[in-house]
Amino acid sequence: MDWQGQKLAEKLMQIFLVAFAVVAFVVGYALGSFQAMLLIYAGGVLLTALVTVPNWPAFNRHQLSWLDQSEVDRHPRPQAAASQSSKKKTTKQK
């Protein structure tokens, strides 16, 4: 999963679980059935797991574009500097 996908999956998980918990409690209380509350919530947990845990394509829409290997070869890694004061610079290449 890419970063955006991970964020989406986590948000979906939280919203689904809380929503199912609320629905389960309200329906259980209205029906006077503790078992109904537990069954609805269990169903909700399973559904949420099905939606957010596997690596669905929908969570892979914002791929990171890693650097091409040919481009990497053209820019060799800088050597470790002899002086202690040199700072590490990261350069972005398009």
Binding interface with other proteins (CB under 8 A)? 1, 6, 9-10, 13-14, 17-18, 21, 24-25, 28-29, 31-34, 37, 41, 45, 48-49, 52-55
Residue 78 main-chain phi, psi, to 5 deg: -65, 145
Cβ pair 64, 90 in contact under 8 A: no
**Residue 2 or 68: which CB sits closer to other proteins?**
2
User: Minimum distance from CB of 25 to other proteins (Å)?
Assistant: 5
Cβ pair 39, 22 in contact under 8 A: no
d(CA 78, CA 89): 10
User: Minimum distance from CB of 22 to other proteins (Å)?
Assistant: 8
Please provide the size of the chain in residues: 94
User: Minimum distance from CB of 2 to other proteins (Å)?
Assistant: 10
**Structure tokens, 2:** 């890419």
